Amino acid sequence: MNSVMLTVVVDNNSELLNAPSEHGLSLHLQSDNHNMLFDAGKSDLVLANLEALGLAAKSPEWIALSHGHYDHTTGVPALLSRYPKAKLHFHPKLLEQKWILDPGDQWRYGGLPSAFFELDALYLQPHQCGMELIPGVFASGSVAGDDAQSAVRSRFFRISNGCKCIDAFPDEQVLFVKTNKGVSIISGCMHTGIEATIKKARELFPQEPFYALVGGLHLEGKTQKEFETILNIIHEANFRVVMPLHCTGKGFVDYLANNNPELLLVGSVGKTIEL
């Protein structure tokens, strides 16, 4: 595969007046004459931004979902209304309820929109395997494992078998893009962590060099020491480009800019990277 073009459709940041930002993520991937979306943002904004970026004319073949949080899935019903032939790719545990424990012990629903469950049953058939969605673009399947359990305190919970438990994100998947440049990892939030994600990549692509790390890295509020640890892992894996998005946070972007600027590609709505 010669190349795959990735365009940021929804992100927390935008410099474009006609394609605004929101707290969410959606990425468009183009491979030859095939295209798909990864995640759908937290509203219908994804449709307007696709139009503004000149990407709306052709239906995506797949809408792959990284995990079951609202800021990655709420745009799905609107997308399927516009593109009824698109197929969804997600882990079955994405359908579980998600809850977030905010400061002051305030519970907030953080999962799929109600309209998601009103979709035709044909859309709600999950796919677990690491299948190739469009040429060169692979869905990882569960990064943490289908039966992952968390022993780490977290503000994220899910309802599983009628019980509210700490979410170990068994539904979280990433995309792997394999081209002549190497293997790139495309992440929604990376709740399961960079080490588990790299390990999953090595299960599918044990010998291929890495190229780019793109997407949410869930580093908002982390310390400089934690940033250093993450950057060391990125160096050890020999990534050549990092485009942080969404939940990565400004702190890590600034850290990269100060400590490894040649690695950093600043991301926002409308930005592209050729993988």
- DSSP secondary structure string for all residues of 110-151: -S--GGGGGS-GGGG----S--EEETTEEE---SS-TT----
SS3 state at 62? strand
- Give the per-residue pLDDT at 128: 65
pLDDT by position in tens, the chain (length 275): 789 999 999 999 999 999 999 999 999 999 999 999 999 999 999 999 999 999 999 999 999 999 999 999 999 999 999 999 999 999 999 999 999 999 999 999 999 999 999 999 889 887 767 799 999 999 999 998 888 777 667 899 999 888 899 999 999 999 999 999 999 999 999 999 999 999 999 999 999 999 999 999 999 989 999 999 999 999 999 999 999 999 999 999 999 999 999 999 999 999 999 99
Instruction: State how far the Cα of 147 lies from the Cα of 161, in Å rounded to an integer.
Output: 12
Tell me which residue range forms the domain holding 161.
5-274
- Give the per-residue pLDDT at 63: 97
Q: How many domains does the structure of the chain reveal?
A: 1
The enclosing domain of 155 has a CATH number of: 3.60.15.10
Instruction: State how far the Cα of 224 lies from the Cα of 247, in Å rounded to an integer.
Output: 16
Q: Which two tokens stand for residue 263?
A: 């690695």
Q: Which two tokens stand for residue 3?
A: 């190349």
- Give the per-residue pLDDT at 147: 81
- Give the per-residue pLDDT at 4: 97
- Give the per-residue pLDDT at 151: 60
